[in-house]
Amino acid sequence: MTAQPSKRILLKLSGEVLMGAGQFGIDPQTVARVAAEVKAAKDAGYELCLVIGGGNIFRGMAGAAKGMDRAQADYMGMLATVMNALAMQNSLEQLGVETRVQSAIEMDKVCEPVIRRRAVRHIEKGRVVIFAAGVGAPYFTTDSGAALRAAEMKCDALYKGTSVDGVYDADPKKIATAKRYDRVTYDQVLNDNLKVMDASAVALCRENAIPIIVFNIREQGNLAKVLAGDGISTTVAETA
């Protein structure tokens, strides 16, 4: 991997990635594998912060769809992201990577509150910062939380590691002829309702000129390839 000493990125991981081959929860081997890829990126000179979803444990919108109060369900989903953040912190620190978890819901027994200046200082000292609990309010997803933290940290790009290798014009798991984009504009994502991130997250990235790079994190070693410009991914930016 080619070092980019001044490159600061936010890595957004879907919670489902941490399940590995399972159907629920956290697979320690998968978390350790992803942590090793994060360490490799840090060793290559990148400044890193992370946001991890909670869908492997509890997804607020799914709970609301089954009759739960939406706000209550979203708060439960935020707590799931804290659990994932602590699991990732444990794996990173076992690899010798200094890590701090900051939660938008204060719980000082296990992590720090989100304080922007402190987070920036951690990053400047070479630590990886994991932001948990989304934006700390219901009705917002971790995508919106990732876009917000990327803007606050003045990140050069937001890398979204998910289960597909980019942005398609239809669901590639259901439609074999779905077309993958190499590049697509923020406006096209919003106008065509392409399933990249929430509209609020895409709009926030557009307003702050933060490109979104969507790639498959399930493929081992893919983060290094994408950071080096060699892997398969889709870039969402101002111009296609």
Fold assignment, 8-237: Carbamate kinase (3.40.1160)
Where exactly are the structural domains of the chain? 8-237
pTM across the whole model: 0.93
For residues 94 and 196, give the distance between their C-alpha atoms in angstroms, rounded to a whole number: 32
pLDDT tens across the length of the chain (240 residues): 544 445 999 999 999 999 988 889 999 999 999 999 999 999 999 999 999 999 999 988 788 888 899 999 999 999 999 999 999 999 999 999 999 999 999 999 999 999 999 999 999 999 999 999 999 999 999 999 999 999 999 999 999 999 999 999 988 888 889 999 999 999 999 999 998 899 999 999 999 999 999 999 999 999 999 999 888 999 999 987
| SS3 state at 12 | strand
Q: Please answer whether residues 168 and 181 qualify as being in contact, where contact means their C-beta atoms are separated by less than 8 angstroms.
A: yes
Q: What is the phi-psi region of residue 67: left when phi exceeds 0, alpha when psi lies from -120 to 50, beta otherwise?
A: left
- What backbone phi and psi angles, to 5 degrees, belong to 158? -115, 115
Looking at residue 63, what is its pLDDT?
80
Measured distance CA(217)–CA(160) in Å, rounded = 8
Taking only the tens place, the pLDDT of each residue in 170-220 is 888 888 899 999 999 999 999 999 988 999 999 999 999 999 999 999 999
